[in-house]
Amino acid sequence: MIADLAVDLPGRATQLQAIDERLSYVQSFQKLNGRIRVDVGPRGVGKTSLLRAYERAAQDRGFVTVFITAGDRPFLETVSAEFTALSHRWQDSARAQIHAAVAHLTIGIGPVSIKTATGPAAAAVPRRGAGRELQTLIRAATEQARRNDAVGLAVFVDEIQSADPDGLRALGYAWQNMQADDADLPATLFAAGLSHSQDVITSAVSFAERFEYDHLRNLNDGAAITALVGPAGRRGVAWSPDAAAAALTFAQNYPYFVQLIGNETWKAAGFPAPGDTLTAGHVEAAAAAFTTTQNSFFRARWAKATEAETQMLAAMAGLGDTDVRRRDIAAALGTRTESISDARRSLMDKGLIEEAGYGRLSFTAPGFAAYIREEILGVDRDELPAAEPAPAGDRQRITELLAATQAPTPPASRAERPPRVVPPVIYRDRGRGLDGGGLER
């Protein structure tokens, strides 16, 4: 795929630097990183790709890594399975220690126990809390990692908002206990989840000081240009300024759509050869395929919603795309604000909407509101406000940015690449400042 944005993760330099500093601390001082970092944001902004980049960075530094995706089954059952898989890399004695710790990891707290990754359900006998059991497992894995000449242990949790409350509670208490009992263990934990992950975690864990949240948004303008032209540039193909401007108008700096329009433009140009240039005509030719795929994306999202949720989405779309007041949505539905709370929470769980400030909501994917208005509510496009044209100076700014981005000969290595250029604003979501960037899977 020509628009494989995972190569450089444009727009995520700040996040990558912060993670490098944490890994460096654990490596240099052989100490526990006491806070769990959670990168949060809507679907499509690159949380999973970023988390995988963190994992690669940890592996490059010599850490043993465990990657966990929450949601398919009880969280601690998934944890035990992944740590069991980790133990298979080591000798019998190390493997036995991990298996023993896994065998004691319970899903509930108290006398209830559930099948673990190592065998059938154990007898319902009193045990320590799951947080303590998880602490023991992490300690055993970290110690075995060091004995096998690794720097330490790095754990990664994706889709953390999908973990069950018992699992989140155990994770929080395990890390709190390790801060006091295992401060000299070289271990760290990073997570990623949807925008409301902090609410989910806070509901499950009574304390929040062990978690630190970083909110990811759409790409800023410089990152969007880099993501768009970079894959073609590595093949010796350039973008004209008009083509880049047209493509960004389609994508609206949403990472998945940047990837999509870049790929469709590449195909519309007939898979160009080194030395070729992608033009505005190629972007125009890609428009139909882009729109078809985009609508399929929106249709799938709409299909996920229940009747109560679709009513709320329709009311919200009728009011705008971003920063829609909850009280206005409730008024459009003829009900009280409190009555839409369940639908609001469920739509956030599904990643379709997100908080945009106190009492305000926004659609997570640009264009979804327009899709609902046109395809679901039947509002004629001619009845909609005309799209606001790009500022007159955009072409010159894009030309300058492309000149800095599209080097004639790509550098041989990442270390040789020129420093990232921060450009002036080209497009901006009028509802809020967008200052992040990245991609999803």
Each residue of 173-202: pLDDT tens digit? Answer: 999 999 999 999 999 999 999 988 988 999
* Beta pairing partners, 154: 65, 188
Percent helix, strand and coil across the chain, each to the nearest 5: 50, 10, 40
Across 213-217, 328-332, 340-344, least confident range: 213-217
Asked whether 161 and 128 are in contact (CB, 8 A), the reply is no
Residue with tokens 């739509």: 347
Q: What is the pLDDT of residue 216?
A: 87
Q: Is the pLDDT of residue 438 over 80?
A: no
What would the mean pLDDT of 422-430 be, rounded to a whole number? 32
Q: What is the pLDDT of residue 303?
A: 92
The pair of three-digit structure tokens given for residue 142, joined into one six-digit string: 């970290």
Neighbour tally for 407: CB within 10 Å = 11
Q: Which of 319, 359, 365 is nearest to 217 (CA)?
A: 365
Q: What is the pLDDT of residue 183?
A: 93
For residue 65, which phi and psi values (nearest 5 degrees)?
Answer: -120, 150
* 357 vs 52, residue with greater confidence: 52
Interatomic CA distance for residues 194 and 216, integer angstroms = 10
List, as one string, the DSSP characters of 156-205: EEESGGGS-HHHHHHHHHHHHHHHHH-TTS-EEEEEEE-TTHHHHHHHH-
The pair of three-digit structure tokens given for residue 289, joined into one six-digit string: 């395929």
Q: What is the pLDDT of residue 392?
A: 46
CA dihedral 372, 376, 378, 379 (to 10 degrees): -10
Distance of CA 149 to the CA centre of its chain: 31
Q: What is the pLDDT of residue 208?
A: 66
Q: What is the pLDDT of residue 187?
A: 97
Task: Identify the H or E element spanning 151.
Answer: none
Tens digits of per-residue pLDDT, 149-165?
999 999 999 999 999 99
> DSSP character for 71?
S
Return all residues near 269 (Cβ < 8 A) that are at least 6 apart.
276, 278, 279, 282, 285
Q: Which long-range contacts (CB under 8 A, 24 or more apart) does 268-274 make?
A: 272/232, 272/237, 273/236, 273/237, 274/235, 274/236, 274/237
Across 24-28, 35-39, 411-415, least confident range: 411-415
What would the mean pLDDT of 262-285 be, rounded to a whole number? 96
Band of pLDDT at residue 128, cut at 50, 70 and 90: low
Distance of CA 212 to the CA centre of its chain: 15
Residue with tokens 């759509």: 257
Q: What is the pLDDT of residue 428?
A: 31
Q: What is the pLDDT of residue 172?
A: 93
Q: Which CATH class is domain 5-215?
A: alpha beta
Band of pLDDT at residue 304, cut at 50, 70 and 90: confident
CA distances (Å), 261 to each of 46, 228, 239, 291, 404, in order? 17, 8, 13, 9, 22
* 53 vs 5, residue with greater confidence: 53
Q: What is the pLDDT of residue 403?
A: 66
Band of pLDDT at residue 401, cut at 50, 70 and 90: low
Q: Which residues of 160-187 are buried (b: 16+ CB within 10 A; e: fewer)?
A: bbbbbebbbbbbbbbbbbbeeebeebbb
pTM for the structure as a whole? 0.71
Q: What is the pLDDT of residue 334?
A: 92
* 271 vs 397, residue with greater confidence: 271
Q: Is the pLDDT of residue 408 over 60?
A: no
Which residues in the chain are classed under CATH 3.40.50.300?
5-215
Q: What is the pLDDT of residue 6?
A: 45
Asked whether 305 and 347 are in contact (CB, 8 A), the reply is yes
* 311 vs 89, residue with greater confidence: 311
User: For the chain, what is the mean pLDDT?
Assistant: 81
Interatomic CA distance for residues 340 and 93, integer angstroms = 55
* 274 vs 42, residue with greater confidence: 274
What would the mean pLDDT of 380-396 be, rounded to a whole number? 51
Q: Which of 219, 195, 261, 193 is nearest to 429 (CA)?
A: 219
